[in-house]
Structure 1
């Protein structure tokens, strides 16, 4: 076995199965036989040069952190990192690995949804990692709106995508009410809805095409500045288009609405 052990606690094998193949300080790996290869290291290598090498003084958020690979890479560059996930198993792995890597003082792992950051939270982050999560969410636009309101300088985004990489020329314009065939043309922004499961995973809900990702980013106040790998987008904030986004709808959707405004109340 190549799994590392620790004399005062469980071994990596005790915490199996692993989805992240972490390279531990003793030279062992948590998932050396990963079917995707050295995952997610090879994805990090695609985005690493787009993230500042010195992150001292920066706060970073790793959404859907799993066993913490991206959190650890950011912490190694000096950042203060919060990793969130809703899976207790992954969080146990992440905390265990943080101790082995002596990064526990720089990385905090919490059991949270991305939506939790919309409920009046005062958290702000300089960099947000949002990789491999969107297609697992029932409410993807709400998640992107929530991230935008954290006001990050940079968001690293990755999602499962459909094979349609085209962009329809008139996708950003107005569509006449009776011209609905336009919505069916190749390259029109759309997301495939997964009612049952995809790859035997019932938490997969939406698979966007390339045009949908570009449009969703613009609609939530992000601009794509680079695409370092397939399905990976480096995004920077831009002004939120207020004509397309209503603050009261966001407040109502996230529970931030003032209940005293309800009909019939003084």
Structure 2
């Protein structure tokens, strides 16, 4: 966890040498992504440390070094850290979407400051299926547990995945990985008393002072949800992140979500 920079801290020196850049960063409000903008960091005192680089250092190992020509959709892009990271690896079209205008303004400013051509637009996660086309890489990082209807959103997101989905969620409870029966008798309550059994914790009020933390799954739930959505888990580069490919997301040419909504799943 980072502490306040000292008088001789390089971050302080960089801020002093770039007063206009520092002023504009501050004017855009509190940043949740700590991004290095030409020597000036946007969130040096983040309560999670150098976030999200603490995640990216492991996730990045599952991303090709050369993304030349690849398309990227970053859902819940926040200030654009991941969009910027993939653009720096040579990705072609990079589109970041979020519902928060403050984050989008930060993302646009960060990309402009770094001289990167990235699209950012306001879009709800529940509307991403309306974005034309599919993408080689879809990032769905740090959003799932903030949604009141998380599986509905995931099923919509899957429609946009042409290549790989990078999925990350906060997890709480058991982190054990076990194999479970395909079915249970109606009166068998023992599985629900097992802390390893797949479950999602519902947060009625607030968690970590954030009322948007609605559902927090354990590991069994995350992996079960991904598989039941027709995704194959290929890799787990860090404890909360999964790399997936769509394998059984359609039946008779229709996505599972469309079958569910039509009552034919």
Q: TM-score, normalised by structure 1?
A: 0.85
2:198 aligned residue: 189
Q: How many residues align?
A: 246
Superposed displacement of residue 250, structure 1: 3.8
Superposed displacement of residue 184, structure 1: 2.8
* Aligned equivalents of 1:45, 1:11: Cα separation in 2: 27
Among candidates 25, 50, 59, match of residue 62 of structure 2: 50
Q: Tell me if structure 1 keeps the 8 A contact 2:173–2:195.
A: no
Residue 150 of structure 1 pairs with residue 160 of structure 2: yes
Superposed displacement of residue 229, structure 1: 1.4
2:48 aligned residue: 36
Relative to 1, partners in 2 of residues 1:117 and 1:229: Cα closer, same or farther, differing over 3 Å? same
Q: Tell me if structure 2 keeps the 8 A contact 1:219–1:241.
A: no
Residue 78 of structure 1 pairs with residue 87 of structure 2: no
* Aligned equivalents of 2:148, 2:88: Cα separation in 1: 33
Among candidates 186, 204, 207, match of residue 198 of structure 1: 207
Superposed displacement of residue 5, structure 1: 4.9
Relative to 1, partners in 2 of residues 1:193 and 1:155: Cα closer, same or farther, differing over 3 Å? same
1:176 aligned residue: 185
Superposed displacement of residue 122, structure 1: 3.0
Residue 221 of structure 1 pairs with residue 230 of structure 2: yes
* Aligned equivalents of 1:144, 1:98: Cα separation in 2: 27
| Superposed CA RMSD | 2.3
SS of the residue 2:162 aligns to: coil
Superposed displacement of residue 223, structure 1: 1.7
Q: Which runs of 5+ in 2 are unaligned?
A: 1-11
SS of the residue 2:110 aligns to: helix
* Aligned equivalents of 1:61, 1:22: Cα separation in 2: 19
Q: Tell me if structure 2 keeps the 8 A contact 1:168–1:185.
A: no
Q: Which runs of 5+ in 1 are unaligned?
A: 253-266
Superposed displacement of residue 73, structure 1: 0.6
Q: Tell me if structure 1 keeps the 8 A contact 2:52–2:81.
A: yes
1:249 aligned residue: 260
Q: Tell me if structure 2 keeps the 8 A contact 1:15–1:93.
A: yes
